[in-house]
A and B are shown apart, each in its own frame.
Chain A
């Protein structure tokens, strides 16, 4: 039998929410695998964390080897999703909403059937429902109860609550990928806790996470892989994303924090934090050393001879042709798209690490949603390739390609884009 995981209107992207160290989507696949269902169709609708969900489902992980991904612009509904996946009309499947996690022994032979699963005791989560049906025989009518539990996870807060319930043993069936070093305190491979740090259950420390001296972590805290909790910081009823540094004396409560800010558990609102002493990335996104060295070489190679020539001409009392043409505006912009006047300060910025050698300088690029899941925000570059990504394209296409560039930026791609011929900026038609 197959399963299909379908998105619900209003809750697109919840599959990326973390449940005790793994995304909800992965938890769902683990549950289905335990039931013997490995052929799973998963809908990925446009929306938050679409790229992250795609990277999870289309990776080399054996868990997703037999997963079929169906992209959609908006939630398709069970029937249309089954059609797009090519399911035959009589083929039965388990229809699981993308916001639902459960642990129960399903009777897979009873088709069609509708089941209700009660939320785990001690949690304040909504109950769950799932169906087993086919396109020819849709489930409707009586809802049967099942042993076990099921819950709808529609927010970060709900995901955190369910994760903590698993850590404290209230909920069964959720695999914790860590060792329980004391009741309710779980530490993954490489996690380190300073001797004078305080830890309180339930708590999960991810792979290579570090808790420094006098920090207080827990209760109900989930620390992501490679996160660092610095001295005197407090994290309770909160979660910290992977690769995030929580600064000294920072207090986090009822939030999910990452390197760029935090989202409140109570209302889901997001606040950006620009102070690196409070929250920062463990691997900051900076200009590559190779780019900085190359820019320095260019500066020396281009600017030094020109400066010497200008100085020599001035000593002789001659007017510099180049500076005259610059002043009169007759010197054309170079083939890199950067005016000759701009190239020197741009290269200085690259050497100083304030911009990349190749990047996107269009201010509309700042509108690219970071919540779409790409790790590296766009940065300005000495060489602007914003129009080379999508020659002659509409703004809506440009914005999508900038988002794509942020996810795929590397030296080889930059070189290929620089080598491409530049085009005139297209007129806005929409």
Chain B
């Protein structure tokens, strides 16, 4: 299992593209990943839709969980139904514990 960090504060198409590359790269070593979303402070519609698309692509191949979504991100995540594409945890530690338990 590994932890991935969103390396920007604006969720746009290019950030999601970079996340996709990281998931693919780490996915060769582990099927379980936790994405730390705590740095995201701004969202774009293109970023949200790209994240939805990414969730559809990775489900079934890897277990990718989103964690520590700030409140504005959380509200928009609920509005677009992001929980149907990714399991969402309140903290990175909770996600890592849960994925480790499922690994065991």
Contact = CB atoms under 8 A, between A and B. Distances in A.
B47 to A, nearest CB: 10
B78 A391 contact: no
Interface stretch (B3-11, B19-27, B28-36, B92-100): B92-100
Given A54-B74, A58-B75, A86-B93, A70 B48 contact: no
A123 interface: no
B88 A70 contact: yes
**Prevailing SS type, chain B contact patch:** helix
A173 interface: no
B52 interface: yes
Interface string B25-58: 0000000000000000000011011101100100
A285 interface: no
B89 A86 contact: yes
B1 interface: no
B83 A403 contact: no
Interface string B71-83: 1101111111111
- What bracket does the count of chain A residues touching chain B fall in? 35 or more
A393 interface: yes
In the complex, the 9 A-B pairs of residues with the closest C-beta atoms, listed nearest first:
A86-B94, A390-B49, A71-B83, A54-B78, A73-B84, A400-B80, A58-B75, A397-B52, A86-B91
Interface of B: 13, 45-46, 48-50, 52-53, 56, 71-72, 74-84, 87-91, 93-95, 97-98, 101
28 contacts: A50-B81, A53-B78, A54-B75, A55-B75, A58-B74, A69-B78, A70-B89, A70-B90, A71-B74, A72-B83, A73-B83, A83-B101, A84-B94, A84-B95, A85-B90, A86-B91, A390-B49, A391-B46, A391-B49, A394-B56, A397-B56, A400-B80, A401-B80, A403-B79, A404-B45, A404-B80, A407-B79, A420-B46
